[in-house]
Structure 1
Amino acid sequence: MVFVSVLGLLFAVLVVCDAAATVLHPDAEGLLAGSIRKVVWRTAAFASARLPRAARRMLSLAGPVILLATFVVWIVLLTLGLAVAVWPTMEEDFKLQPGLAPVTFLDALYFAGGTVPVLGYGDITPVSTEGQLVSLFGAAVGFALFTGMATYAIQVTSGVSKRNRFTLAVHDDVRGLGGVTVFAEYLARDGVGETRAHCRSWTESLREIDEMVHRYPLVAFTYRSRRDEYDPEPALRRLAEISVAALVASGRDPALRASAESLCRALVRLQRTIAGTYFGKHVARRLADPRPTEDDRRAVDTVDRMLTARLDGSPGADHGIGREHGDEHDRAVETVHLCRVFLEGLHEWARTEAPPQEWETR
């Protein structure tokens, strides 16, 4: 019977470790938490694909359900582990009110259910040192678990709010236009200096979202909205187009080079973080080993022509956009390829239709 008690304690410790890895560790996600996230999201994505009219509603519910289901599973399994630990010694190590004998596993489960949330009802009390230590352990880890879950939920909602501000900012910046068109307008209207400032702002936003996905993989990209302006996918798609346009433009205007490369690096890093967390190893491998195609090169040539047509027509503009190919052109081709791989993986993961990039419509 001692073996059963030890087994129950070990089970409870494993549950606590899973919760601690998810809530406290900046580079880890518990096995239970990760499994629940994948099951709930796949279910929501499958249902949304079968019910297209309710697709956004289905996906918008996935994040809260993942968080709630994870918390419930942690509490239930911790309670179960503590019940298994005390059950073999209930009659010897605990004082029971008259009428409770003979003791069953349901009594142990009842005791554990009152101990984990630090409630306790007084009708089952530990009298031996071993029983008191087990009860103290259950109450301590239960209190820590509830506190950690509350803190984690607050941090998650705060992070989602930050992500929503990012998507709203991009939505307002692009105004329903393509990313290449928006970048060309900024460059023609505001000049290189202001355009660099915009690039730096977008870069900083991408870094913040990258850190959020890295820190809160449980819900960071599964918290979706029914409203398009809050959806991160269109924002990332437009910033991908802006990044390619910035790289192409920097090929002839060195003043744009540093900000364009920083924006590109931030975007690619975020894509790899999201892919490694959610999409699976096959997408992550393709992002780590890009192999651009002729279609990607034609896409960059299209962006080049779009920028040239827009900027050559601006009054008194001398932005130097031309057809000469250099390192920036090759980097733009690679970025187009990475964006295509990422967006294909994203829409396959979410079971949604992938809209075309701006250069595919020209």
Structure 2
Amino acid sequence: MIAVQILGLALIVAVAWDAAVTVLHPDREGLLATAVRRVVWSATTRLSTRLGTFVFALAGPAMLACTFLGWILLAIVGLALAVWRLLDTDFAVQTPLGTPDFADALYYAAGTITVLGYGDLTPLSTQAQLISVFGAGVGFTMFTGMATYVIEVVGGVATRNRFTLALHDDARGQGGVTMLTDCLAEAGVDETRERCRSWAEHLRAVDEMAHRYPLVAFTYRSRRPEYDPERALRHVAEATVTALVAAEYAPGLRTAAEALCSAQARMQCTVAEIYLGDAVTRRLADPVPSERDRAAVSLVDDSLAAALGVPVSQAEHRRAVDTACRTRIFLEGLHRWSRSDPPQHEWSP
């Protein structure tokens, strides 16, 4: 009996820890939350091939619901195990249940964890009372944390959506290269510098959301294309490469371009560590540019020179080439993970 009680209490503690880590810790995600995220996303990507991409809009809510339900059910089972053998001796039964069994323990645990408590099973001994109060406390705290987490997630998704809408409006149906080139040619260096700083702030917000809410940061999707985070990330990555090249023509843009590049690199590493796996993370940490990446930067250089009406720069653009390489690695990994259409860069032939 003691072993079963210890097992039940240990299960409650494990569930409470998993929930606390997911909801409260800024750098961690619970084991159950991680497992649910991976299983639901894998199922969603498989279903999308049969039912269409609209199922992606259901992935985020399904992850939250399944995670919360998993915590509640495991806490109920844990409390049921803890009180099961006490029902005969340590509880007053006010309804003719007969000999209490495990189903009755589950019934009592469900009422206690959800803080409903019908009163037909009442703990009498100190041990039973302490276990019941502990279970009720865990349940109340868990429900409060889940409600708070949902509110924070909705706010985080709204922040991410503002980023995708901003990039959608800035791109105006074009890519990131045209987006930055037109801004530089039409509005000048000062406006382009402010635009780069704005994009960097958006990327930091996305990075923080992915870091803080890995359960839903890149899995909470909308059916509307302007809210697609992958498209927005492609546009801003192209703009980052273009800004780094443009700094050779407009030195006043260099600081903002490098800050944008740093914000993007950090965001890409965060997303890769959470969603894309060790292989992509390692390649991002040590990129090896190919001729394809160098050709991409050359096309960007030609586009800028033509738009600004100046000779093509003879600079090597090493940082731009490295950034183009990281962008290719990151977006290809993101494409494989989400099974979305292959990324087509504006600089692609």
Normalization by structure 1: what TM-score? 0.95
Selected match of 1:189 from 174, 183, 186: 186
SS class of match (2:122): strand
Q: Distance in 1 between matches of 2:248 and 2:262?
A: 16
1:38-57 alignment to 2 at 5 Å? 38-51=38-51, 54-55=52-53, 57=54
Query: 1:224 maps to what in 2?
Result: 221
TM superposition shift of 1:321: 6.5
Long gaps (5+) in structure 2: none
- Superposition pairs for residues 316-331 of structure 1, below 5 Å? 322-326=312-316, 329-331=317-319
**Contact residue 252 and residue 321 of structure 1 kept, 8 A:** no
2:292 maps to 295
Cα deviation, residue 98, structure 1: 4.5
* 1:123 partnered with 2:120: yes
Counterpart contact for 2:331–2:343, Cα < 8 Å: no
- The Cα of 1:149 is off from its aligned counterpart by 0.2
Query: Identity percentage over the alignment?
Result: 56
Structure 1: distance between partners of 2:286 and 2:311? 29
Q: Measure the CA separation in 2 of the matches of 1:197 and 1:321.
A: 25
Correspondence for 1:146 among 119, 143, 146: 143
Structure 1 counterpart of 2:275 = 278
Counterpart secondary structure, 2:41: helix
- Alignment correspondent of 2:32: 32
State whether residues 197 and 256 of structure 2, in contact with CA within 8 Å, keep that contact through their aligned partners in structure 1. yes
2:313 is matched by which residue type in structure 1?
R
Question: Which residue of structure 1 aligns with residue 332 of structure 2?
Answer: 344
Deviation of 1:103 (Å): 1.0
In 2, Cα distance between the equivalents of 1:232 and 1:184? 22
SS across alignment from 2:259: helix
Contact preservation (8 Å) 2:9, 2:78: yes
Shift of 1:61: 0.6
Distance 2:124 2:142 in 1: 25
Deviations 1:211-245 (A, max 9, x none): 01100000111001111101111110000110000
Equivalent residue letter for 2:10: L
Contact 2:248 2:313 in 1 (8 A): no
Shift of 1:323: 2.1
Please name the residue that 1:315 is paired with.
Answer: none
Classify 1:98/1:162 alpha carbon distance in 2 versus 1 (closer, same or farther; 3 Å). closer
2:170 aligned to 169, 173, 177, which one? 173
Structure 2 residue aligned with 1:266: 263
**Rounded Cα–Cα distance in structure 2 between residues aligned with 1:292 and 1:305:** 19
| Distance (Å, rounded) in 1 between the aligned partners of 2:186 and 2:341 | 34
Pick aligned residue for 1:237 from 234, 239, 243: 234
| Paired residue type of 1:167 | T
- CA displacement at 1:285 relative to structure 2: 1.0
Deviation at 1:198, TM superposition (A): 0.5
Identify which range, 123-132 or 87-96, moves more after superposition: 87-96
Q: Distance in 1 between matches of 2:254 and 2:48?
A: 42
Cα distance in 2 for residues equivalent to 1:49 and 1:214: 29
Distance 2:12 2:179 in 1: 54
Partner Cα separation in structure 2 for residue 206 and residue 98 of structure 1: 60
Name the counterpart of 2:87.
Answer: 90
Distance 1:250 1:200 in 2: 14
The alignment's TM-score, normalised by the length of structure 2, stands at 0.98
Output the CA distance in 1 between the equivalents of 2:225 and 2:290.
31
Q: 1:44 Cα shift?
A: 0.2
Could you tell me which amino acid in structure 2 is paired with residue 42 of structure 1? S
> Which position in structure 2 is the counterpart of 1:310?
307
CA contact 2:12–2:74 (8 Å) conserved in 1: yes
CA distance in 1, matches of 2:119, 2:344: 65
Aligned pair 1:76/2:73, yes or no?
yes
- Alpha carbon RMSD of aligned pairs, Å? 1.0
